[in-house]
Every structure is written in C-alpha cells, then in structure tokens.
C-alpha cells in the first residue's frame, strides 16, 4: 500500500498535455547565381538524447532565400525536467570556397506547461558558421551529419 502514493505521483508526472512546436523563417544565401545547399533540423534538447521534431534534408537552390516551416509535438520533457530546451541547427555550403559550415540557434528554456511554442529564425548563411568539412571531403562521412 505504500507504493500507491508513489504510483500516483509517477502517473501524475507523466500525464501531461501535448505541447505543439513550430519553427518558421527563411535561410538566406547572398551568392547570386551560385547553387548552394542546406540541411535544417528542429530539436528539443534533452540530457540523454535529443528529440528531433522535424528536419529538412539536403535542399539545393540558386535562389537567395528558402522559406521553411518545421513542426513537432512533445508530451512532457522527462520526469524531473520542467523546461523545454529548443534549438535549430543548419548545415550549409553558402561559402566562398564551398566548405560545409554549421550554425545553431538556441532558444531560451520554455516551461513544460506551455501548450504552443513558436520559434522564428531567418539566418543569413553567407560565409557564416563553424567549418565542419572542406571541399573534396565527403560530407556523408561526418558522423554527426549521418545521425539526423
């Protein structure tokens, strides 16, 4: 009988309404006429394993901007986690020499009691971000790249 209060606590902690997530914006490349590619991923970060809401695989274009809308749903954020940690990650080759770069957008933590969380990010990618691969290297050889 002593387990009954503990069981009730676990059920109460796990019984949460869903939170809807949305990320909108556009990625921009100021290299007129140059074909450029990007990969965009929308995350909810966790201590053990991040949740991927939605991802845009390799998209290539000659346009200067590419609008996006990514969505996701979460039912709580772990037994002792009271906040959602939301992030966007983009990899791109909108660079002078074609190297692959990455950029992150980390949002402030949102309480798990929120029912809708909207994020807007419209980065200018041109020559921005940390270099993760150089021309001639196979992009698919990057283990972080293959995990999404």
Domain extents for the chain? 18-146
pLDDT of residue 55: 94
Segment 4-32 mean pLDDT: 75
Is residue 15 scored above 60 in pLDDT? no
Residue 75's pLDDT band (boundaries 50, 70, 90)?
Answer: confident
Neighbours of 145 (CB within 10 A): 16
- Range in 22-26, 30-34, 39-43 with the lowest mean pLDDT: 30-34
Highest mean pLDDT among 5-9, 35-39, 42-46: 35-39
Comparing CA positions, the residue from 30, 21, 27, 25 lying closest to residue 39 is: 27
8 Å CB contact between 86 and 43: yes
Q: In whole angstroms, how large is the CA radius of gyration of the chain?
A: 19
Per-residue pLDDT tens over the stretch 78-134: 677 888 999 999 999 999 888 999 999 999 999 999 999 999 999 999 999 999 987
Contacts 24+ apart (CB under 8 A), 105-112: 109/83, 109/84, 109/85, 110/83, 110/84, 110/86, 111/82, 111/83, 111/84, 112/16, 112/19, 112/76, 112/77, 112/81, 112/82, 112/83, 112/84
Domain 18-146 - what CATH class?
mainly beta
| Whole-structure pTM value | 0.79
Q: What is the mean pLDDT of the chain?
A: 83
Residue 142's pLDDT band (boundaries 50, 70, 90)?
Answer: very low
């Amino acid at each position: 009988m002593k387990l009954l209060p503990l069981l009730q606590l676990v059920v109460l902690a796990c019984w949460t309404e869903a939170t809807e997530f949305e990320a909108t914006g556009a990625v921009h490349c100021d290299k007129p006429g140059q074909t450029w590619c990007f990969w965009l991923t929308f995350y909810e970060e966790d201590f053990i394993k991040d949740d991927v809401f939605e991802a845009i695989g390799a998209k290539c274009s000659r346009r200067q901007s590419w609008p996006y809308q990514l969505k996701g749903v979460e039912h709580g954020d772990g037994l002792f986690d009271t906040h959602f940690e939301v992030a966007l990650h983009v990899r791109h080759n909108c660079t002078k020499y074609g190297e692959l770069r990455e950029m992150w957008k980390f949002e402030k933590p949102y309480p798990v009691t929120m029912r809708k969380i909207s994020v807007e990010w419209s980065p200018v990618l041109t020559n921005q971000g940390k270099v993760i691969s150089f021309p001639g290297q196979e992009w698919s050889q990057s283990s972080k790249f293959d995990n999404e």
